[in-house]
Amino acid sequence: MAEEAISCLLPCAARDEIDPEFVVGARCDTIGAENWTMADTLARCIAYATDGGADLVWINAVQTRAQLKEVCARTPKPVLCNWWSDVEPQPTLAEYAALGCRVALYPTIAAAAGLQAAWEVLNDLRARGSVAIDDWRRRAQAGPYGAADYRLMTGHAKVREIEERFLPQSAQRDYASAKKPSKG
């Protein structure tokens, strides 16, 4: 396993020369991989943390709490977990902490939720026509968080502030006119 850990040494050495506060994470994808055992996974995680010099170990596709607990207990560096299981439901944040996990990663939740929402509204549009869009907008507005506001989420007000601060007046967008529907 030491040879795999060596692959961490180069980024860690470069990091130490350039920015010692930069964090190097070593990703371990062996859980569920063909011809790999839990013992292999543990050996790799430990080697990344010790021989490889990684600052944290990313354990991917964890399927059980027992796996995560063992990796966290035996790996001498913080563990980041990406849970991907059909065996057990996802742990709560408190459970992650109790199992020894320092970082819980949710890399695809926004994309998966967006895909599911698009799937539902597009099928509804196909089945019921444009009334489905009106119903979707009403549901979004009535939901506990209201409709998503892209201007708020993307810092639209900050963009305007930056434009006003750094662009000459002649180059600034006329936001008031831009909101008016065009005639024609």
Looking at the structure, do residues 70 and 21 belong to the same domain, yes or no? yes
Task: Look at 121-130, 162-171, 172-181 and tell me which has the smallest mean pLDDT.
Answer: 172-181
Confidence at residue 184, expressed as pLDDT on a 0 to 100 scale: 47
Q: Say yes or no: 88 and 153 in one domain.
A: no
Shared-domain flag, residues 100 and 149: no
Q: How confident is the model at residue 51 (pLDDT cuts 50, 70, 90)?
A: confident
Residue 144 belongs to domain spanning: 110-178
Nearest to 24 by CA among 101, 84, 97, 77: 77
Confidence of residue 32 (pLDDT cuts 50, 70, 90): confident
Q: Using 50, 70 and 90 to split pLDDT, how confident is the model at 66? A: very high
Regarding whether 99 and 115 lie in a shared domain, the answer is no
Q: How many domains are there within the chain?
A: 2
> What predicted TM-score, i.e. pTM, was given to this entire model?
0.68
| Encoded tokens for 46 | 């430990």
82 plus 158 within the same structural domain? no
